[in-house]
Structures are given as structure tokens and as C-alpha cells.
Chains A and B, each alone.
Chain A
């Protein structure tokens, strides 16, 4: 239990405050801030690239059970998912299920 308490205590500055500060700033500044100012567009780009990098890290260097699936299958499933996204008129829902289904199928069929 002490382990959990320590993690939650660390999560308050490094998780809660780190995240909520942007939401609170949005509420404070909603009447004054331009969401398309250069600063915020740069911030949008960094945030987008960071999440993309996180996805890439889960594909090329996953920890644990994802590592039991071949890296080329993880890659192929992601590419198939993007293909389905555009084929299914940009449906995040359909494409998310298709990606996971493709990964399971590739692994089961090709080992």
C-alpha cells in the first residue's frame, strides 16, 4: 500500500497539475486567447508529435506482452489501421477495431 501511496503522491504534481494547468489556463483565458496564435499552433505541433512518438515507441519498443508479437506485424497492423481509417470515411471507431483485429489475425496466421 505504501508503494501505491508514494506513486499517487508523485502523480499529483507530475500528473494532475502537469495536465490540469492547461485546462485551467483555457478556462481563464477563453475570452482572451486566440487558439490559432503562433504560440498555440507550435504547441499543438509539439503535442501532436509527442503523442505520435509515443505510438511509435509502443510499436518499435513495447514492454512486456506486446513484445511477443513480431515487430513487422505491429507495424503492418498500424498501417492497415490507417488504410481502413481513410477507406471508412475517417472513422476512428471502425479503424481502431480494425487495427487490433489485424494485429491478432497477423499474429495467429503468420505466427
Chain B
């Protein structure tokens, strides 16, 4: 568990912290209350969903639409959680800690589970990741207020650069997680369809670009080569 806590302060943890500093600057920027912004960390714990919730809430989008968009970005956590659990679960062990680990699973934990678990014994893998998740969550809850107040005191150009950490991290995480050609197609189509959807239906732009672009990518380039996620 303590090994996992230490790993929270590794390079992936620091990049995550910069993205959350950016998130703190973003909530300051759109006028979202700081405490509610901090609450998105333990409640949602997936930055794309947090950014969506905050920006859609601030533009007055109806709650069911917010829930749909947040939920659609979170679907990627399902294969990710299965991937993390497959590495750490023991057949005879109780299931309850797995539900806790599931809550902590997001892109940084997934990356660290692939790179840092080799030296951890089988029984210690799950506690190691729970320690990592707890430390990262606490760390980010401190970092967001820092970003919020920094955005207030920094010159606008620097504050803007800080906000940009978040989309930069999203885009590069998508590229680094891409395995099949349809992953790349989905990234490209999501980018291309967004301005078009925004022009015709500003309230539904993300849902149209996401569902439309993803479906198109899947239909055109459905992968035949399998066994890459295990």
C-alpha cells in the first residue's frame, strides 16, 4: 500500500497534477464554485467527465443531457477497469475491495498498473493500487484549489496555458491508448464532426460528434485482429 502511495508522486502523477491544476484554473475561469469543483474529484474521478459536468452545468444544459454525456465518456472506464482487475484480482478473495479499486480506476492508475506492478507480489497488488488511488485522489483535491487561486493571480496568458494542460493531456492520452485503426479514426472523426455539430445543434454538439463519430469509425474500421486488450 505504501509503495502505491509513493508511486502517486511519480512522473505520471505529476502530469496528472498539472491537468488538475488546469482543471482548477478552468473552474475559476467559467465561474464554477471551488467546493463543488473539488467535490467532482471523489464523486466522478475521471477528468473528461469532470470537465463536461462543469462546462455543461455552467452553460445551463439540462441535467439528463449532462448525465448522458458524462456517462458516455465514462464507458471507457469499463474495459479499463476489467484490464486493471484482471492483473490484480485473486480468485478466492472477497469481492468488496474490487468495488473500491473500481472506483479509483482511471487513466493514470491504468497506466501505472501496466508499468509498476511487476515487482509487487500477487497479494499486495490490489492494496498497492488502492493506496495509489487514495493518494492520487487526496493529492488532486489539494491541487485543484491551487490551480483555482493561481488562475486568479497569474497573468491571463499563463492562466490560459494552465487551462490548456487539460485538453492536451486528454488528446495525448487518447493517442497513447489507441491500439486499432478505428481508435485513430474515432479521434479524428470526433474532432472533425464537433464544429459541424456545433453549428447545427450547439446543445448536442458533443453527443452528436461522439456518438456519430464513434459509430462511423466502428462501422468503417471494425477490428479483425483481437486479443490486444488482454
Contact = CB atoms under 8 A, between A and B. Distances in A.
Contacts of B158: 104
A23 B102 CA distance: 5
Interface stretch (B1-9, B50-58, B135-143): B50-58
Interface in A55-109: 55-66, 68-69, 74, 77-78, 81-82, 85, 90, 92-93, 95-97, 99-101, 103-104, 107-108
Contacts of B170: 51, 54-55
Q: Taking each of A22, A65, A93, which has the highest tally of chain B beta carbons within 10 Å of its own beta carbon?
A: A65
B193 A64 contact: no
Contact of A22 (B57, B75, B101): B75
Contacts of A27: 81, 85, 95, 98-99, 101-102
A8 to B, nearest CB: 5
Contact of A96 (B18, B103, B174): B18
Interface of A: 3-4, 7-8, 10-27, 29-30, 33, 35-36, 38, 40-66, 68-69, 74, 77-78, 81-82, 85, 90, 92-93, 95-97, 99-101, 103-104, 107-108
Nearest to A6: B36
Contacts of B168: 77-78, 81, 95-96, 99-100
B157 to A, nearest CB: 5
Interface residues of B, number: 117
Contact of B230 (A15, A35, A48): A35
Contacts of B52: 54
Contact of B172 (A25, A53, A92): A92
B75 A69 contact: no
B15 A92 contact: yes
A25 B29 CA distance: 35
